Amino acid sequence: MEKFALVTGGMGYIGSHTSVALIEAGYQVVVLDNLDNSSEKVLTGIESITGQTPHFAHTDLRDVDAVLEVFNEYPITSVIHTAGLKSVEESVTNPSKYYENNIGSTITLVKAMQTAGVSTLVFSSSATVYSSSSKPPFDENAKTFPTNPYGMSKYIIEQIMADMALADSKWRLGILRYFNPVGAHPSGKIGESPSGVPNNLMPYLMQVAIGKLEKLPIYGDDYETPDGTCIRDYVHVVDLARGHLAALEFLENKNGVHFWNLGTGKGTSVLELVKEVEKVIEKPIPIEMKQRRKGDIPIVFADVAKASSQLSWQAKYSIEKMCADHWKWQKHYSDSRQ
């Protein structure tokens, strides 16, 4: 049977790179997106990379009839669910928006899948579900205790999926806990386009590099780390996309619910990332030391043994490659908005 994947949030950062990986692996792809946080221009980027234009469903996941129509229109065999709000900061100031959007849209999606008889689903979760009391490297059994509504929404969805698998053995559910996705497709044609001032480190860094923002605030240099700044597991978004493909392949003959960390297993500090970007752009990045940011955990990086053994997946790209590819995208993206 032809492999037909529905990618929710397919116009977004993770969704668009995953759609490219799926098309290049021979899947037919339907991109479903409400375009709240993305642009239809992404379709052009996907087409210029793969030579194919994915089917596009301009649909809000919370509209159950519209979602059912997509399943009636296309012979979907699996779903990659990346749609969702993802700002930690915004989730703290507007929690109900995050619970309603992220959980509500997932419930609607699952109901439509049930009606359509589609039982394979890969879900975009996050390392934010892990507890700050866990000790790095975090493996999939590390204590979970989200400290913000964004992370809690991901955690609740994980619990819903675990209960679904208990209730009905037909489900084939893969939960991917992303660490810190960065970088862009090496073509420079798709990448992350945050709206407004970025919350996350890499996009902020890149906007300073391109001159859109004046200097990089560094939230705390007094942590218990070698250079005093927080450590994170940055992973190339193209590696992450390959992880979704590997998860789909694993689920082809595996029922139940399965969890995998997607990271490099290596940590990089804020100052180390700044230095890597300075090497790529060949000029200094102006920084400003600020107070610690509420909720930041000093050291977060993944134990990736499970994805390596079960999915035969490892991150291939280095931090230098992540910075080079992100910078190539930043320049292309900025030029295209002149």
**Which residues belong to the active site?**
150
Q: Is residue 153 a contact point for ligand WQD (CB under 6 A)?
A: no
Show the binding pattern over residues 13-32: x = contacts ligand WQD (CB under 6 A), - = does not: --------------------
What's the DSSP call for residue 265? S
Nearest to 200 by CA among 176, 230, 157: 230
When binding is defined by CB under 6 A, the residue of 53, 131, 200, 255 that contacts ligand WQD is 200
Q: Which residue has its beta carbon closest to ligand WQD?
A: 230
CB 102 within 8 A of CB 154: yes
Residues 277-316 contacting ligand WQD, CB under 6 A: 293, 296
Question: At closest approach, how far in Å is the CB of 19 from ligand WQD?
Answer: 18
Q: What are the residue ranges of helices labelled H in the chain?
A: 13-24, 41-50, 64-73, 88-93, 95-98, 104-116, 149-167, 201-209, 237-251, 270-281, 305-311, 319-335
Show the binding pattern over residues 222-261: x = contacts ligand WQD (CB under 6 A), - = does not: --------x-x-----------------------------
Taking the CA atoms of residue 323, residue 326, residue 331 and residue 336 in that order, the dihedral angle to the nearest 10 degrees is 180
Q: Are strands 120-126 and 78-81 parallel, antiparallel or unpaired?
A: parallel
Q: Are strands 231-232 and 268-269 parallel, antiparallel or unpaired?
A: antiparallel
- Region of 225 (left: φ > 0; alpha: ψ -120 to 50; beta: rest) is beta
- Number of Cβ atoms within 10 Å of the Cβ of 192: 23
> How many residues in the shown chain lie near ligand WQD by CB under 6 A?
19
Question: At closest approach, how far in Å is the CB of 273 from ligand WQD?
Answer: 8
Question: At closest approach, how far in Å is the CB of 199 from ligand WQD?
Answer: 5
**Which span sits near ligand WQD by CB under 6 A: 107-115, 199-207, 254-262, 318-326?**
199-207
When binding is defined by CB under 6 A, the residue of 8, 82, 126, 225 that contacts ligand WQD is 126
Measured distance CA(193)–CA(207) in Å, rounded:
11
**Which span sits near ligand WQD by CB under 6 A: 53-61, 96-104, 193-201, 313-321?**
193-201
**Which span sits near ligand WQD by CB under 6 A: 23-31, 160-168, 215-223, 316-324?**
215-223
Which positions touch ligand WQD (CB under 6 A)? 86, 88, 126, 128, 178, 180, 199-201, 204, 216-219, 230, 232, 270, 293, 296
